[in-house]
Amino acid sequence: MSQMVKDFDWRRPGTFLPVAMAAAFRPRSFFSQMDNRGDLVTPLLFLMGVHLLPSLAALIGGFQPGAVAWGLATRLVVDLIFIGLVYTIGHHIMRNPLNAGGFLRVICYCLGVKLIAVILPFLPGYQDALMVLVYVYFFVILYFGLRAAAGFSFLQAATCVLLSVVGMVLLMSLLGNLTVDVPSQGPAGSSAPTATSPK
């Protein structure tokens, strides 16, 4: 049996899918032996790939380029904000010694489960329900990833994930009235906000 891949290597694109699959379906095994090189570029490039592939699928599925670009930018910003929340809560508030590169790897590699969004443009009517399931599963594997890579206890990992989700929901609620015009619905089931002006 071949050895499990230890980290994504942008110079070896063939490691992309094995990392995403291992993080999604064997999170405890993968993150317990993950090679944390500490750099920030590698997991960010992985995250970019996770979002680019569904965006290309959306273009093939007939979405307008403007909507695709908006959807890509929006999802990246949302994920980066969530990453910042998890790192702030886990490292600075909960005092876990895992470095920024480690936290970034855990979250970005867990986000690889969102590659399923590649098929969403071809499943009209099921996009929202499927993405809800994907996000629920993402939170589950993030919990296991934090336990394996950061050494969190059951309560610490669950608290870190829960507080990050609550913080994200509150932040998005605060920003809910600050939106812009976009051409139409974004790719991969992400609805583009409509224009309103803050009062």
Element (H, E) at 58: helix 41-60
Contact call for residues 141 and 77 (beta carbons, < 8 A): no
Residue 181 belongs to a domain: no
How many domains does the chain contain in total?
Answer: 1
The pLDDT, as a whole number, for residue 128 is 85
For residue 195, tell me if it sits in a domain: no
190 domain-assigned: no
Is residue 186 a part of any domain in this protein?
no
Structural domain includes residue 133: yes
The CA distances from residue 45 to 50, 118, 146, 158, 188, in Å, are 9, 18, 20, 27, 19
Q: What is the mean pLDDT of residues 50-66?
A: 91
Distance spanning both ends of the chain, measured CA to CA: 61
The pLDDT tens digits of the residues spanning 152-192 come to 999 999 999 999 999 999 999 998 766 555 555 444 444 44
Q: Per-residue pLDDT tens for 85-105?
A: 999 999 999 999 999 999 999
DSSP 108-171: HHHGGGGGGGGGGGGSTTSHHHHHHHHHHHHHHHHHHHHHHHH---HHHHHHHHHHHHHHHHHH
pLDDT in tens, 103-159: 999 999 999 999 988 887 777 788 888 889 999 999 999 999 999 999 999 999 999
Question: Within a domain: residue 19?
Answer: yes
Q: Which amino acid is at 116?
A: I
- Residue 60 placed within a domain: yes
CA distances 145 to 82, 87, 176, 177, Å, are 15, 13, 30, 34
pLDDT score at 196:
44
Range of the domain at 87: 13-174
Distance of CA 151 to the CA centre of its chain: 21
